[in-house]
Amino acid sequence: MLRIGLGYDVHRLHDGLSLTLGGINIPYGAGFRAYSDGDPVSHAVVDAILGIIDPGHDIADWFPDTDPQNKNIRSIQYLHRLRPVLEDRHVILHNLDMVIEAERPKLKPHFLAMRQAIADALGLPVDCIGIKGKTSEGSGYLGRGEAIAVRVVVLADL
């Protein structure tokens, strides 16, 4: 049976913090203040996968910020933790595709490294991971560069 999972996450940027997207550090000068590293790419991918394997639940249910082992974790580790669950349930991920919405920094030079980190975490070929970047053309909080948002869709067989 085919299933589609949809994930979304947004995090506000704060000066002086490190920026992690898709499991990689990106030099920028601003990053996310969060219980984990705040990586909205990894968080949105987790939610998309959970939409397939555990409808009605999200990242906060599986990896709560009340659990000390999630404090300051690199969020790409959540994908590593989901991989054996997918294998145990015989879920075959076909592909995932995402849009990262950010005014800055320019992210395209980092897409291949992000795709590889996600592919490695989930045990997929890198060509099964799609990433596109968009801006808000100066509109709203995303357009003012106050945050980064990510939308992800995942296709899987159960």
Per-residue pLDDT of the chain (158 residues; tens, 9 = 90+): 999 999 999 999 999 999 999 999 999 999 999 888 999 999 999 999 999 999 999 999 999 999 999 888 999 999 999 999 999 999 999 999 999 999 999 999 999 999 999 999 999 999 999 999 999 999 999 999 999 999 999 999 99
Element (H, E) at 31: strand 30-32
Backbone angles phi, psi at 145, to 5 degrees: 75, 25
Give the pLDDT confidence score for residue 4 in this predicted structure. 98
Burial class, 68, CB count within 10 angstroms (exposed 0-12 / middle 13-18 / buried 19+): exposed
What SS3 class is residue 14? strand
Give the pLDDT confidence score for residue 70 in this predicted structure. 84
Q: How far apart are CA 138 and CA 110, in angstroms?
A: 22
- Cβ–Cβ under 8 Å, residues 115 and 75: no
What SS3 class is residue 122? helix
Give the pLDDT confidence score for residue 82 in this predicted structure. 97
**CA of residue 65 relative to chain centroid, distance:** 17
